[in-house]
Structure 1
Amino acid sequence: MTDNSIKTMDPNILLSIINTKLRDQYSSLDILCEELMITKDEVIKKLNDIGYNYNQSENQFK
């Protein structure tokens, strides 16, 4: 996954991928983005555009 693929990916698929990775592999969005070398702001913007916000206490986009 790259910043470029995030820009072109269907946001619903991105939501599924990110939430699955947060649930199964990463304890925070910051760690996920750092390890995958993707821009946190890009992920947040793309998912905000479809009405999802990151809930830090639950470690998922809702």
Structure 2
Amino acid sequence: MTTELPQDPFMLLSVVNMKLRDQYASLEDLCDDMNVSRTDLEEQLCAAGFEYNAEQRRFW
């Protein structure tokens, strides 16, 4: 995971959802641009109880 993203899952959730809303058209775009593994990101947020909704482009 890149140092640009917080390690705390709740802060990570907030930052990722904000970036998806304001800067990126998809989770893939965010991960590619930030050089982050989508699998690692989803696993970290899933472990905290969140899952990605592609239709809404956000984690819940």
Equivalent position amino acid for 1:48 in 2: C
User: Given the two structures, how large is their TM-score scaled by the length of structure 2?
Assistant: 0.90
Structure 1: runs of 5 or more not aligned = none
Structure 2: runs of 5 or more not aligned = none
**Counterpart selection for 1:46 from 32, 44, 47:** 44
- 8-17 or 47-56, which deviates more: 8-17
Shift of 1:54: 0.4
Report sequence identity in percent: 36
Shift of 1:29: 0.3
Q: 1:4 to 1:28 in 2, by over 3 A?
A: closer
Q: Contact conserved, 2:2 with 2:35, CA < 8 A, in 1? A: no
Structure 1 stretches of 4+ with a deviation exceeding 4 A read none
Alignment of 1:1-62 (within 5 A): 3=1, 5=3, 9-62=7-60
Structure in which a larger fraction of residues adopt helix: 1
User: Given the two structures, how large is their TM-score scaled by the length of structure 1?
Assistant: 0.87
How many matched pairs?
Answer: 59
